[in-house]
Structure 1
Amino acid sequence: MFLFSSQYQDVATLSNLPRYTGGQTYFYPGWNAARSEDAIKFAREFSDYLSSEIGLEAVLRVRATTGLRMATFYGNFFNRSSDLCAFPAFPRDQSYVVEVAIDESITKPYVCMQTAVLHTTCNGERRIRVMTLALPTTETLSAVYASADQSAITEYFSHKAVERALGSGLEAAREAVQTKVIEIMQTYRKELAGGNVGGGGLQMPSNLRALPVLFLGLVKNVGLRKSAQIPSDLRSAALCLLSTLPLPLMLQYIYPKFYSLHDMPDNAGLPDPDTGDVVLPPPCNLSSERIVPYGLYLIDDGQTQFLWVGRDAVPALLLDVFGVEDKAQLKQGKTSMPVLESEFNERVRAVVDKSKDHRAKGVGSIVSPPMYLVREDGEPSLKLWAQTLLVEDRADQGVSLQQWMGMLREKVS
């Protein structure tokens, strides 16, 4: 479902149709056909959508070793019976979460799970696609923690948070996310870290270090954030994304990529001699402490890109990147990068294009993120919007990373 509107459109109700038919909701707020950036974005996405390969008339079933039961399924489809999910069309760019319950005590060293999708290809052939997974079992909690995947845990709780938000409201969803991360850390501390080692600090195994930050990003995402200023259409569209985005895009959506461009290494924005891929600058933490007034930055959550121009940006930098010396001449808001003969302009354009290359992340997506130019001393609402992506900062009614970690430390100990 493609929704364009300058007024309120009730995305919350309309998005139910794609939710139960294996579809997706694409929302274009403030769209204007006369603006070339808007028209090109939609034309690119819609043609990509129409030409993408999909499966038709599909059903998905997950089976597992005796003793395991598929308890709940999350994602966009119709749950026809307890373990059969129906898809009129099977997309190539969504994620699904299946919650597995342990019904009987398992004695074998391995358990197996198998996902099968029966579908018709675009050419009318009936096929089955099967994926099988064998997982070792363990009796020790430390092995469970050591092999846990923080990305998968975050994806699972984002689906659960959306379900909770739709059923019980946003406050309940935020609280559930917070309670879960505290529970995970408390159990680790109590059972595996000897109770109070390290004077009450937060301990987690290295493979789960990012969990608190990812959960903070989830709570501060537009879909779940505590704020009175978010229109319900924008919120509903964000909740649709939180419950469908493939894993790499989902992680970027709740913890965006943040690159410093004015001082990027010499090889950034140029093809890697070995792989031929454009090299990206090292990502920075999402905190305004990283922003210097003379800098140029890219903030990218996979759905929107912001090019941040500092208030003291020097004319030479502006001339190199945008072809103007005075930043008052820069067009703020939705824009596209000018194509200039300068080497630095080419490198910045290469970084911007590479950052939105979802195929390099190994996932399908038709979204071509629009770019907004934000001047630090310019349009306040634009600046505020870009700053909401800096999830480690304190904003609106949200806490900063330091406050969040302090609160977790208190609750866990």
Structure 2
Amino acid sequence: AGSSLPIGLVNLAPLATNTGGDVRHYPAFRYEVDREQVLSDVRWIVSRPQGLEALMRVRCSAGLSVIDYSGSYCRRTPVDVDLPCVDCDKNIFVRLRYDDTLQESEECCVQAAALYTSPDGTRRIRVHTLSLPCTSVLGNVFRGADLEINVKHRLVETCQMLPVKPPAQIKEHITSRCVDTLYAYRKFCATNSSSGQLILPEALKLLPLYTLALNKAMGLRMEPEIDERVAWMHDCLSLNVDSSMDTVYGQLMRVDDVLLESDSAAADGAVPDVPRKPSPLSLSSEGIDATGIYLFANGRDLLCYVGKRADPSLVHDLFGTDDPDTLCGNGPRLWTLMEFDSVHSKQFTSIVLHTRTERCKHMRLRLLRHGSREETLRFFDSLIEDRSTAGMSYVEYLCHVHRQIQNKFV
């Protein structure tokens, strides 16, 4: 049946979720700029490793049981997960529950088995089995905790609650889960420490940072349009762990220092075509220098920020102009990467391509200039360790979490 009403991602995303498909959102689409990303996305979707007509079941030892699954799938029975299409980008998140006491002298096992059809028509089965030691010492549990899985769990919870709860309640829930975790460690594993000191388990010492980052995630902000929020939710439900971490806490790199190293190498007669990978920086404005050129990757966009006092000769080598304002105009420029006849340009292109290849995503390149409104909305609001309209700074959040933990002891 036809309809004269517009169809948005709210209507289309469930179809992709139930069939193992993908949602690709291109806001403010412009053919001359977005063409490369669309072609790259289509090329990757049809060529990546994948299986069809898959059926998955997760089983575990006595004393454990499966609560639920999260991801892109269709569930027709209580115990099996139907996957019309499963690929290397998808992730199925499984939550387990203790049903009985586990014996400390034994190990518990979790097994995931998937029956699927390969692209060449062969019916195959793949089985993964994980065996873990049981312990009654809570300190051992914290010592073996996986930070990235904890962050992924919080991200999945956020996506599941977002359609039914306001962002303020979700943020409060995320923070309370972090507080409960650190309170348990403080109460049962660090009883000899001073009550005025915030004690963090070694394996989860960055849990408050990632919890703050999740509080400031795009899906919980007020600015995104509904289609952008729905696309974010769909992606986060099925992203693998590495991509989820990139979405929550993006990667900031200073590239001008790396590029200028080639000038020193040129004096020695050897200029590498592929520069060293820039070291990641913390997402704080304290590390932003007005003379620098930075790349920020979050899995969706690749932001290139040019400082107000960046080296003019380097700017000309990279962008073909001495004044990046002419490229940006009054806002961000969805910029098509161009390689000019200079060593710096070739090395910059190499860094951009490597960043995209690492994430198996094209990521549109946005050029931001100093002083623009979009500079604040897109670049500096991504520096989650700073205070912004999205929430408190990292230092303030640590103090807030510490107060919440102390209140539980009262």
Report if TM-score (shorter chain) is over 0.5. Answer: yes
Corresponding residue for 1:220? 216
List per-residue Cα deviations over 1:75-110 (Å, max 9, x = no partner). Answer: 111122222100111122011211111111111520
Distance in 2 (alpha carbons) for counterparts of 1:337 and 1:21: 34
Q: 1:375 aligns with which of 353, 356, 369?
A: 369
**Matching of residue 175 in structure 1 with residue 172 in structure 2:** yes
**1:251 corresponds to which residue?**
245
What's 1:409 paired with? Answer: 402
> Equivalent residue for 2:350?
350
Distance in 1 (alpha carbons) for counterparts of 2:111 and 2:262 = 44
- Distance in 1, Cα, partners of 2:169 & 2:77: 28
CA–CA separation in structure 2 for the residues paired with 1:395 and 1:187: 30
For residues 342-372 of structure 1, the C-alpha deviation after alignment (integer angstroms, 9 at most, x for no partner) is: 222222222222122236xxxxx4x310000
| C-alpha contact 2:53 2:84 (8 A) present in aligned 1 | yes
**Residue 71 of structure 2 is aligned to residue 68 of structure 1:** no
What root-mean-square deviation, in Å, do the aligned CA atoms of Structure 1 and Structure 2 show?
2.2
- Residue 162 in 1 paired to residue 155 in 2? no
| Cα distance, 1:263 vs structure 2 | 2.0
Q: Report 1:276-315 matches (<5 A).
A: 279-315=276-312
Cα deviation, residue 380, structure 1:
1.3
Contact 2:66/2:96 (8 A) holds in 1: yes
Q: Which amino acid aligns with 2:172?
A: E
Amino acid at match of 1:18: A
Kept in 1, the 8 Å contact 2:55–2:116? The answer is yes
Deviation for aligned residue 1:166: 2.1
Task: Give the CA deviation at 1:51.
Answer: 2.4
Matching residue of 2:135: 138
- Within the candidate set 73, 78, 89, 2:74 is matched to 78
User: Do structure 1's residue 386 and structure 2's residue 384 form an aligned pair?
Assistant: no
Contact 2:60 2:109 in 1 (8 A): yes
State which of 10, 15, 18 in structure 1 corresponds to 2:8.
10
Matching residue within 312, 316, 319 for 2:316 = 319
Alpha-carbon distance between aligned partners in 1 of 2:26 and 2:403, rounded to the nearest angstrom: 42
Closer/same/farther in 2, CA of residues 72 and 277 from structure 1, 3 Å limit: farther
Q: Distance between the aligned counterparts of 2:275 and 2:164, measured in 1?
A: 44
Contact 2:304 2:367 in 1 (8 A): yes
- Partner SS for 2:277: coil
Letter in 1 for 2:77: S
Q: Distance in 2 between matches of 1:372 and 1:389?
A: 14
The separation in 1 between residues aligned to 2:65 and 2:274, in whole angstroms, is 43
More helix by share: 2
CA–CA separation in structure 1 for the residues paired with 2:236 and 2:146:
18
1:263-295 C-alpha deviation (Å, 9 max, x unpaired): 238489x9xxxxx98631111110112111121
CA contact (8 A) 2:368 2:374 kept: no
Residue 393 of structure 2 is matched in structure 1 by: 400
Paired position in structure 2 for 1:58: 54
Kindly indicate whether residue 240 of structure 2 is the aligned counterpart of residue 235 of structure 1: no
Contact 2:19 2:83 in 1 (8 A): yes
Alignment equivalent of 1:206, drawn from 193, 202, 207: 202
Q: Where does the alignment leave 5 or more consecutive residues of structure 1 unmatched?
A: 1-7, 271-275, 360-364
Letter of the 1:372 partner, please give it: R
Q: Per the alignment, do residues 403 and 10 of structure 1 end up closer, same or farther by CA in structure 2, a change over 3 Å counting?
A: farther
- CA–CA distance in structure 2, aligned partners of residues 123 and 90 of structure 1: 15
Q: Any conservation in 2 of the 1:9–1:233 contact (CA below 8 Å)?
A: no
CA contact (8 A) 1:392 1:401 kept: yes
Quote how far apart the aligned CAs of 1:231 are: 1.3
**Structure 2, unaligned runs of 5 or more:** 1-5, 266-272
Q: Is the 8 A contact 1:23 1:77 kept in 2?
A: no
Aligned mates of 1:93, 1:70 — CA distance in 2: 23
Which residue does 1:362 correspond to in 2?
none
Instruction: State TM-score, norm by structure 1.
Output: 0.89
Deviations 1:214-246 (A, max 9, x none): 111111110123x3x221211111111221111
User: Taking structure 1 as reference, are residues 138 and 372 closer, same or farther at Cα in structure 2, changes over 3 Å only?
Assistant: same
Maintained 8 Å contact 2:75/2:81: yes
| 8 A contact 1:375–1:383 mirrored in 2 | no
**Partner amino acid, structure 1, of 2:365:** M
